[in-house]
Amino acid sequence: MKHIVTLTLSPTVDKSTSVDHVVADQKLSCDEPKFEPGGGGINVSRGLKRLNVNSVAIFPSGGLTGQRLQDLLKEERINQQPILTENMTRENFIVLNREVQEEYRFGMPAVELLPKEEREILSVIRNLSPKPKFIVVSGGMPPGSSDDFLAKVARIAKQDDAKLIVDTSGEALKNAVEEGVYLLKPNQSELSKLTGIEVKDQATVEEAARQIIDKGKCHIVVVSMGPDGAYVATKDFSEMVEAPQVQKRSTVGAGDSMVAGMVYALEKGFDLRQMVRMGIACGSAATMNSGPELFKKEDVERLYQGMLGKAR
């Protein structure tokens, strides 16, 4: 049976806490910290698990932090295939200031990926058995990774008849699109850089997305527009879908949750309208929780059903 594989090239352990207030030059008494696995594809795997769909998370892992990351994934019963690296996996830090309900996110520098480690990741993907149905690449590209790395992943996906879903940025994204992907999920800024069109409103979002579709390099483009929702386009279909109104507490992992929702929908055979709404429901539900918690399934189901009702 074919399965879902996620690839995270810049994973992290997310450490989060809360304080009553933030004051410079004083020792701040923090709550007990929470440790959670993080990074684009890893969060997609975690989101899929919350929706009762299993996947295999592939990621580089180094040092004590890398081992902590593997242990955290085991606790969440995420299938994993770590590639051991010389450099230690990074750790991010998130602090909630309770006084004003503001969240501070401290992202540590991405860890360099060595050429031999990149080759090993490609070898692991090439030799997966059984062959995957979906390969989901999500998150930033680390220093040391080659610009054509995702293009190589795209070629493997073609050979294996796997659907490649990409949510990243930069030259690696451009090269992957040139090779061909199944689904692309840029935000407005990434879409601007990818197409050269200044994306500033729905009309320019449609123009830029159509440019990618018309080149025949991508089957589905879903443009994330934050609290406004998302625009979805294929060769024969397009729609702007509004996001539901929710009480936002944190945006950590919201984009990855959206990808998880869409992959879940594709796996279950949903149509495009249902797919994008499930993605938005997962992304919106993730913002309702503090720190890197992702979403609760019951929130997703409520938001999704509400969006379906409006669409009728």
Query: Annotated catalytic sites, by residue?
Result: 256
Taking alpha carbons only, the member of 223, 295, 311 closest to residue 253 is 295
Contact present, 89 and 12 (Cβ < 8 Å): yes
